[in-house]
Amino acid sequence: MSLFALLSRAWLPLCFGALAVLGLANLWQTSRVVAGTGPFSPSDPVAEVDRRLEPVRQSLLARGVREPVGFVATEHGAPQSAAWTELYYKSQYAMIPVVLDPAYERCEWILSVDAGAGMLLTARFEPVEPFASGVALWRRRAP
């Protein structure tokens, strides 16, 4: 068999072999980058916010609240900062179909997610129900 004929027959199988080696190497590399979960692994932050706010969502539904609820977070950076925005989005995911409004001043009800919100809200809002981990439900004071 000529060299050309040999090369012709072996070309595609050699390419497939190279693909196999490179592909498996890529997968193995990925397995070293994406680690499994063990007893020391950090918990999922989305699930954490979900757990914290589920009782608040149930409370608002039981009270028949249908309008948007103000959102206040004072210990996660300035409003609209990256950390604050991330917490707002996660909180909204947990609270849906209750809609959270960052412009809390125009809302009847307020959800505050950390203990420091009291100083900001007590002038115009009164606490209605405290929850674990500094979460609280507030309502606008009667004029």
Partner 1 sequence: MSPGVAWAWLSCWAIGAALVLLGWPREHWRRDGVLIPGLGLAAGLGLTSVVYTASSFLPSEQRLLATALIEGMALLGLGLALRRKSDARPFAPVERAAPSPAPRGELTWLACFVVVQAAVVASVVAYRMYQADPHGGWDAWAIWNLQARVFFRTEGDWPEVMQHAQLAWAHGDYPRAVPASVARLWMWAGAEPAGIAAGVSASFAGATVLIVGGVIASLRSPLVAWVSVFILISLPGFVLAAPNAHADLPLGCFFAGAGASALLGWQTPAARGPLVLAGLMTGLAAWTKNEGLLFCVVFTAVCATQAWRLGRARSGGGFALGLAIALVPTVLHKVLWAPSNDVMTGIGSRGWEQVTDLSRHVMIGSAFLRDAVGFTGWAYALYPVMLLACLAPPWRARLRAGEGSMLPVVGLMALGYYTVFLISPHDLRWHLDSALVRLFLQLAPLAIIGWALLLPRLPKRPTAKPRVRKRVVLAFVALNAAVATVVFATLSGQLRRGELAAETLAGTRVVAALAGDSWHGTESDGRARWTWSRGTADVLLHAERAGAVVTLSFDTRSLQPRAIRVTTEGRELWRGDAGTEFTTVELPPLVLGAGVTTLRIETNAPAVAESSDPTARALAFVVHEARLN
Alpha carbons 130 and 143: distance in angstroms, whole number: 23
Shortest distance (Å) from residue 26 CB to partner 1: 5
Find where tokens 């007590």 sit: 122
1 binding partner 1? (CB under 8 A): no
Among residues 48, 96, 45, the alpha carbon closest in space to that of 71 is found at 96
Q: Are 113 and 135 in contact (CB under 8 A)?
A: yes
Q: Are 137 and 60 in contact (CB under 8 A)?
A: yes
Shortest distance (Å) from residue 143 CB to partner 1: 25
Phi/psi for 141 (5° steps) reads -70, 145
In the shown chain, the binding pattern of residues 4 to 23 toward partner 1, with x for contact by CB under 8 A and - for none, equals: ----xx-xxx-xx-xxx-xx
Find where tokens 């498996």 sit: 24
Q: Which of 55, 102, 116, 127 binds partner 1 (CB under 8 A)?
A: 102
36 binding partner 1? (CB under 8 A): yes
Shortest distance (Å) from residue 113 CB to partner 1: 16
Site of interaction with partner 1 (CB under 8 A): 8-9, 11-13, 15-16, 18-20, 22-38, 40-42, 44, 46-47, 50, 68, 81-82, 89-90, 92-93, 96-97, 99-102
